[in-house]
A and B are shown apart, each in its own frame.
Chain A
Amino acid sequence: MQTVSDAPAILVRDLRKAYGSTEALQGIDFEVARGEVFGLLGPNGAGKTTTVEILEGYRERSGGIVSVLDMDPGQRPIQLRRRVGIVLQSSGMYRHLTVREAVEHWAALYPDPRDVDETVALAGLEDKADQRTRRLSGGQLRRLDFALALVGDPELVFLDEPTTGFDPAARRSAWETVRRLQALGKTVLLTTHYLDEAQALCDRVAIVKDGRVLAVGAPAQLGVGGTSRYRVSWRDGAGELVAQETDDPTALLHRLTSAALARGEALADLSVTRPSLEDVYLELTAEEAR
């Protein structure tokens, strides 16, 4: 029943949200294409959860336009809920059910669910399938969140800080899960504080701060042509490491190297680097905080 459409899976235009006098979102814009893994990256209180929960239909927007799978999530149509899987930033679970019972119950809510045991295994809980959920660890409960969100075989998955609380191995396997979702053509919107996670998983990321989008783009491309530039560094005559940022590394290198040659010196440790996502992130978020 998946409707094929060229329209983006998620469209957000000038999204605004006020909590009383706090303006948590001050005009957010982005689009997520079908089949894309899109990340919202930003510090605490940036507005990530607010944005995601508006798209999930949990919160009402104060202004702007949003469309999720061509529907208005504010109306919470059941057709939309059947096609979307949600991992909330935090949510409790019935304590007296076993993992398998919980996943089985959730599966029954959807028109075309995945196999229950397969989903339990996918979440890495096959050893805990018959254990009551109240006896799961924090990270295992988080895996259960994954299983419950995926058992309905959603075409769009929201993951709000999906790997917070995971040990490194669990994080890797969660990444693997997201990659498999991507390989199946599913659309994923995730939020994260981890730059490596965004870099590893996302086709594109939006850096959010104080309710605004500061930059959008592929993690590798972010910053190119934007505020960030190439970084050229070398050791000067005194052995000090110096660095200079430039939009035009060719010209700068030409100047540096010809000057050095003229002086008969070598430029030790000369390097040209493009800013990493982390540099861009820190630069953008620090700039705003000034």
Chain B
Amino acid sequence: MTGALGWPRRPRWAPETGPPGALLLTWRQYRLERRMFWRNPTAAFFNFLLPLLFLALFGAIFAGSQRDLDVIVPGIAGMSVMSTTFVALAMNVTFLREQGILKRLRGTPLPSGSYLGALALHAVTNTALQIGLVVLAGRLFFGVGWPEEPFALALFTAAGVACFAALGVALSHAIPNFDSAPAYVNAIFLPVVVLSGVFYDAETAPAFLRDIAQALPLTHLVDGLSAAMVSGSPLRDHLSDLVVIGLWAAGGAALAVRGWAWQARDE
């Protein structure tokens, strides 16, 4: 009989020889993130229901005006990208760091790349689900057709995820502690969402607001999504939108990597 601390037995799923590879570990961490996500109803609610709630509200307000509905549906899609990446990551990374969970992981053989890759995949999955829900709701309830340009939709969603995920992680470095995280996040998220024309056609805003909006990545994401989902205007007319999103993504990624810390700052 093996004592309580006999020689280790190899679990069934383990590879026959050698240490587990980075890809396998990325996959396992990703599955863990998914499982934990669904077990935390508050997070799931904020990720999925809040944008849908906004869609329902504004859909009701604009009911009867297809022009407005055609604005609000891609607008909410853009907001969803930002909430499932920027908001979720800024909050989660702050929490994980403050709790010392990042530090604990840091002491294991889990490669950093596998961990961050899993977090990114997790965010991509949430965004894809969310966009799917918005598209479906737009089609079923708000008279918006199936996406005109599915490829452009995927491309802009991917660019949006990269951009806002990087910015969310970068923001987490500036948040001093988890208690203040919602304040920091909303102080950015809410004005950006309003300025970027999620709820109205940005062309109708006053000039100085339009100028600010033109510098923000969400404006360009909503433009791109709007073209892909509603107007079907070709991708080549929206390359400048992609460039702006790409620039923000590059800046965000640089900040996210430079400021990355596995431990709270006071340690």
B-contacting residues of A (Cβ < 8 Å)? 56-58, 78, 81-82, 84, 86, 88, 90-97, 101, 104-116, 118, 121-122, 132, 148, 152-153, 177, 180-181, 184
A-B contact count (CB 8 A): 103
Residues of A within 8 A of B10 (CB): 112-113
Instruction: Please choose the segment from B98-106, B119-127, B157-165, B204-212 that sits at the chain A interface, where 4 or more of its residues have CB less than 8 A away.
Output: B98-106
A95 to B43, CA, bound (A): 13
Tell whether, in the assembled complex, residue B101 and residue A93 are in contact, meaning their CB atoms are under 8 Å apart. Answer: yes
A108/B100 contact (C-beta < 8 A), A58-B106, A78-B111, A81-B108 known = no
Supplied contacts A97-B35, A104-B11, A177-B5, 4 more A-B pairs, CB within 8 Å: A94-B36, A110-B108, A111-B19, A118-B5
Asked whether, in the complex, the Cβ of B109 is within 8 Å of the Cβ of A96, the reply is no
- A105–B36 contact, CB under 8 A? no
Who on chain A is nearest to B98 by CB?
A92
Closest to A112 in B: B8
Which size class do B's interface residues fall under? 35 or more
Contacts of B103 in A (CB 8 A): 58, 88, 91
CA distance A230 to B11 in the complex (A): 55
B214 within 8 A of partner (CB): no
A-B contact pairs, 21 of them (CB 8 A): A58-B263, A81-B107, A82-B19, A82-B109, A92-B101, A92-B104, A93-B99, A93-B104, A94-B101, A96-B40, A97-B36, A105-B32, A110-B20, A111-B20, A111-B109, A115-B9, A118-B2, A122-B4, A122-B5, A132-B39, A152-B108
CA A58 to CA B104, docked complex, whole Å:
10
CB of B25 within 8 A of CB of A108, answer yes
Does A81 lie within 8 Å of B109, measured CB to CB? Answer: yes
Complex formed: what's the CA distance from A180 to B3 in Å?
A: 10
Q: When the two chains form their complex, are residues B107 and A115 in contact, meaning their CB atoms are under 8 A apart?
A: no
Q: With an 8 A cutoff between CB atoms, is B187 at the interface?
A: no
- B5–A88 touching, CB < 8 Å: no
- Measured between beta carbons, the chain A residues less than 8 angstroms from B67 are none
- B107 contacts A56, C-beta separation under 8 Å: yes
For residue B257, give the distance in angstroms from its CB to the closest CB of chain A.
17
- Chain A's interface: helix, strand, loop or mixed, by majority? loop
Q: Is B191 positioned at the interface, with any CB of A under 8 Å from its CB?
A: no
B111 adjacent to A116 (CB under 8 Å): no
Q: Given contacts A115-B8, A118-B4, is CB(A108)–CB(B104) below 8 Å?
A: no
Asked if A90 and B100 make an inter-chain contact with CB atoms under 8 angstroms apart, the answer reads: yes
B99:A92 contact, CB within 8 angstroms = yes
A91–B99 alpha-carbon span in the complex (Å): 6
A180 touches B5 (CB 8 A): yes
Q: Mark out the residues of chain B between 109 and 148 whose CB falls within 8 Å of any chain A CB in the assembled complex.
A: 109-111
Contact of A108 among B6, B8, B13, B101 (CB under 8 A): B13
Residues from chain A with a CB closer than 8 A to the CB of B100 are: 88, 90-92
Contacts of B2 in A (CB 8 A): 118
The smallest C-beta distance from A180 to any residue of chain B, in angstroms, reads: 4
B101, A113: Cβ atoms closer than 8 Å: no
Q: A88-B100, A111-B20, A113-B8 are in contact. Are A78 and B109 (CB under 8 A)?
A: yes
CB-based contact B109/A107 at 8 Å: no
Across the A-B interface, the 5 shortest Cβ-Cβ residue pairs: A92-B99, A91-B100, A114-B8, A111-B19, A96-B39
Residue on A with the closest CB to B41?
Answer: A96
Distance of A194 from chain B, by nearest CB (Å): 23
Give chain B nearest CB distance to A47 CB in angstroms.
15
Q: Assess the B25–A109 pair: CB atoms within 8 A.
A: yes
Q: Is the CB of A113 within 8 A of B14?
A: yes
Nearest chain A CB to B5 CB, angstrom units:
4
* Chain A proximity of B118: nearest CB distance (Å): 11
Among B3, B11, B98, the residue within 8 A (CB) of A116 is B11
Bound form: Cα–Cα A110–B108 in Å? 8
Q: CA of A86 to CA of B106 in the docked complex: distance in angstroms?
A: 10
